[in-house]
Structure 1
Amino acid sequence: MESTQKKSSPRPVNKGDRIKQIFALVSMVSFGGSAIFGVVSLFSSGLSSQHQQKSAPVAVSQESLLAAQERGYQAVLQREPQNQTALEGLANVRLQMNNKVGAIEPLEKLVKLNPNRADYKALLGQVRQQKEGKK
């Protein structure tokens, strides 16, 4: 009787079938990931466009921009007191703000650091003259 009954044994998996299974699994994971990415990007772009439409444009005044620049130059000068770019920027910003008295100090430092620069000397002279003219 034993000879007529076949024992059911698991069929051995050959290499080709195993590769097909792995390929199918990778394909499903890739498709699922790209689908999820597409849906997420769709919703996020929709939400961001709604957010942009709702936010009102903020008007920034020229005075507040100049004040922010002034604070930035002052912060640099606290770390590097002889930074010529920051000194020049501070002097220019203060002149734009019509702060002649405040522009004198950085201009004096620039003249001291660069005694051969005639433009710094001339500007310092003009600012001092304008300051005295207002007294």
Structure 2
Amino acid sequence: MAGSDEEYLITRKKQIERRQKIVTIVSMFSFFGSTVFAVIPVIQQASQPKPAIASPSAESVLQQQARGYELVLQREPENQVALEKLSVLRLQLKDAKGAIEPLEKLVQLRPDRQDYKVVLEQIIKQQGNSEQ
């Protein structure tokens, strides 16, 4: 009987090893198959030309920022930061006439700031030269 028990154990061990190999192979195919199915759409998407995204122009961004500062000034007419930023934005938008009003208010609020006076004088001088 001892011989048949050993044969049974050897046979049983071979069956278990064979099943382990089959499960390992099936698992590997499943893993690689799922990886391939996940990678293919990514590769297809990367190879397709991307549509041009309409980005807002710099001018429209500046105009939106200026509107934001105008809203702040409606609530707080003496907000010096908003006045300064609004005047700078209007100068960047080449709206010198629009920049004069906030600068005049800044000069009234802060007569000690010479830079506000100098910029205001330069803008008024440029306006006078361009109208001639």
Alignment correspondent of 1:87: 83
> Aligned equivalents of 2:74 and 2:51: distance in 1?
37
- Structure 1 residue identity aligned to 2:110: N
- Structure 2 residue identity aligned to 1:107: L
- Structure 2 residue identity aligned to 1:71: R
Alignment correspondent of 1:103: 99
Per-residue displacement from partner, 1:12-48 (whole Å, max 9, x unpaired)?
xxxxxxxxxxxxxxxxxxxxxxxxxxxxxxxxxx9xx
The structure that is helix-richer by fraction is 2
> TM-score normalized by structure 2?
0.60
Q: How many residue pairs are counted as aligned between the two chains?
A: 87
The runs of 4+ residues in structure 1 deviating greater than 4 Å are 53-56
- For residue 56 of structure 1, report the CA deviation from its aligned partner: 4.6
Per-residue displacement from partner, 1:94-121 (whole Å, max 9, x unpaired)?
0001111100000000000000000000
- Structure 2 residue identity aligned to 1:69: Q
> Aligned equivalents of 2:102 and 2:75: distance in 1?
15
> TM-score normalized by structure 1?
0.59
**Mind listing any 5+ residue stretches in structure 1 that lack a counterpart?**
1-45
> Aligned equivalents of 1:55 and 1:134: distance in 2?
44
- For residue 54 of structure 1, report the CA deviation from its aligned partner: 7.1
**Mind listing any 5+ residue stretches in structure 2 that lack a counterpart?**
1-41
